[in-house]
Amino acid sequence: MAVILFGAPGSGKGTQARLLEQWAGIPQISTGDILRQHVAARDEIGVQVARIMDSGLLAPDELIHTVIRERVGQPDCAAGFILDGFPRTLAQACFLAGLLKEKHLGEVVIHLVVDYNVIIARLAARRQCPRCGALYNLISNPPQTDALCDRDGSALVARDDDREEVIRRRMREYENETKPILEYFRAAGFRIFDLEASHDAPEALFERIRRLIEADV
């Protein structure tokens, strides 16, 4: 099965993807993480992505399709995977539908619905480990030691895309480009669960998601 976590920036997709990965034993796939790894490696894709990011643009669909196909073709994805941050456009959604059919995988879409003001507050308090990529929130999910990663002790940083002006631009992009994907999913017959996720603690929200998936399998 492919689990597709869907929602606006700051809705909690990354946190739920990691909890689901631990429970289900299938890998989390984040396009953002994959692209950052390529940039850090300075390989052919990384150079292209860095150039695009420096221009303030989004990676083109064709490039995203390439990295997703490469990732899901690895052995650990044979039994399924968890998608975090993909698809972001209708073209990516069409590509995904074809890929799942090709691999004979079922799907379930978990749509996390979060109030706009809650999202703004969450992202302003978000911090990330620059070494391992672990995410924290200074309000709802703080590190055990102030400003340090629980896993490796690195100093946590605020991501550039969590600045307020960037957040508001990303929300506009979500409304204009990504949200219509839900209608595509519905028309294509994807199984979709809409979950109000503004106030639950991450663990409580995960239990709701886990029960839904178990009942649906």
The catalytic residues are 13, 88, 126, 159, 170
CA distance 140 to 137: 5
Distance of alpha carbon 179 from alpha carbon 188, whole angstroms: 15
Whether the ω angle into residue 87 lies within 30 degrees of 0, i.e. cis, is yes
List strand residue ranges (DSSP E) for 12-139, in order: 28-30, 81-84, 107-113, 126-128, 135-137
DSSP, collapsed to helix, strand or coil, labels residue 131 as coil
Q: Any idea of the CA torsion for 185, 186, 189, 195, to the nearest 10 degrees?
A: 90
> Which positions ≥6 away from 202 have C-beta within 8 Å?
12, 15, 16, 19, 140, 141
